[in-house]
Structure 1
Amino acid sequence: MTNSLYIFTLLAIFSAAGKWVSGQGRVADVVTDQFFNGIINQAAPGCPGRTFYSRSAFLQALGSFPRFGTEGSPENAKREIAAFFAHVTHETGHMCSRVEKDGKSRDYCDETNRQWPCVPGKGYYGRGPLQLSWNYNYGPAGRDIGFDGLNNPEIVARDPVVSFKTALWFWMRNCHNAIVSGQGFGATIRAINGQLECNGASPATVTARVNYYKDYCGQFRINPGGNLRC
């Protein structure tokens, strides 16, 4: 092998390995049809989410978040994907629900938040894969993603790409750094619902999330790591 060919081969190998940190192609390789459908097919046949959520919508939304599942070591990158879908599975009941079941009984309006004031008649209850809630989340999510979060929160339960974008938006702001830096799955639970679940508040719920995470890590053939609970 000539020196130039040897160097070219090495560069090709390094480039392929670098996909974990420089692109999102690997996420699609991990979130296969089999993996995605393995979650959603466990939902009851009549669930609205079964005809709403799709792998293609997830991958389309992923284009706006190139850091998801591509940073840190290859193992940590897969852990992030496993952690995200563990929470999605728990929050939606295997992607059964687009909207929080009892959400409409509350508006989830924080009237003290002046930056993102609630619009009369609008409800900011949980919608989407991670059940985006509260006006102070809908407002900035809409600003960053490109929809009117305060006046049109309903789009999160009507447009599957927007829906996945809100979940990825929340994840990248609150969970991404914790999981890729090796803080463990427990840190993501704390970021999502810590006050209601962590420090013994709801150990059964924490266990449910952890079990989904461990299952998906097993499917990806990776060690789930430590610090699984919060």
Structure 2
Amino acid sequence: YCDNASIACAPGQRYHGRGPIQLSWNYNYYNAGEALGIDLLNSPDIVSTDTTVTWMTALWYWMTPHAGRVIHDVVAGENGFAQSTDIINGGLECGPDAPNTGNEQQRITYFTKMCEALGVEPLGATSCNA
């Protein structure tokens, strides 16, 4: 996933999903690296090979505003899980023209199974298409 519009991609590097939150896109690797003091743009594989960096990038993404919204904050609100999907995958899974709504349904299934295993009820909406 490379979008050269704002941040140039490093030659030969791939910015596919890595880590617990599946950090992807060159601009996210760049911004996470800037925040953490690590050159992730030129060394994106570190996110999957160094466990400290793996969790640092996940926490960075979880606590950093994306389009003005912080995942941590919305999960605790009434739109919870649904809005977290919208922040992470937006137009890919949410909305009437989203091409991957099946992925959203699979994510909801996993989420509800995890909630059941933990003995908790999901809070708020689970679907960003409801």
Same fold (TM over 0.5): yes
Aligned to 1:143: 34
Equivalent in 18, 29, 54 of residue 127 of structure 1? 18
Per the alignment, in what secondary structure is the counterpart of residue 153 of structure 1?
coil
Aligned residues: 121
The answer to whether 1:208 aligns with 2:106 is: yes
Instruction: Measure, in 1, the Cα distance between the counterparts of 2:84 and 2:31.
Output: 20
Instruction: Measure, in 1, the Cα distance between the counterparts of 2:122 and 2:83.
Output: 13
Aligned-pair CA distance for 1:184: 2.1
Instruction: Measure, in 1, the Cα distance between the counterparts of 2:5 and 2:83.
Output: 28
The answer to whether 1:197 aligns with 2:93 is: yes
RMSD of aligned alpha carbons: 1.8
Aligned to 1:3: none
The answer to whether 1:222 aligns with 2:120 is: yes
Instruction: Measure, in 2, the Cα distance between the counterparts of 1:165 and 1:158.
Output: 12
Find runs of 4+ consecutive structure 1 residues off by over 4 angstroms: none
The answer to whether 1:166 aligns with 2:57 is: yes
Q: Is the 8 A contact 2:78 2:125 kept in 1?
A: no
The structure that has the greater radius of gyration is 1
Higher relative contact order (CA 8 A, sep 6+): 1
Instruction: Measure, in 1, the Cα distance between the counterparts of 2:28 and 2:109.
Output: 28
Aligned-pair CA distance for 1:117: 2.8
Give the letter for the 1:182 counterpart.
Answer: E
Instruction: Measure, in 2, the Cα distance between the counterparts of 1:228 and 1:128.
Output: 23
Which 5+ residue runs of structure 1 have no aligned equivalent?
1-107
Please state which structure has a larger fraction of its residues in helix: 1
Greater mean deviation of Cα atoms: 194-203 or 184-193: 194-203
Aligned to 2:5: 112
State the TM-score, normalized to the length of structure 1. 0.48
What are the within-5 Å matches in structure 2 for residues 1-230 of structure 1? 108-113=1-6, 116-173=7-64, 174-200=70-96, 201=98, 202-230=100-128
Which 5+ residue runs of structure 2 have no aligned equivalent?
65-69
- How much identity, in percent, do the aligned residues show? 43
Give the letter for the 1:131 counterpart.
Answer: Q
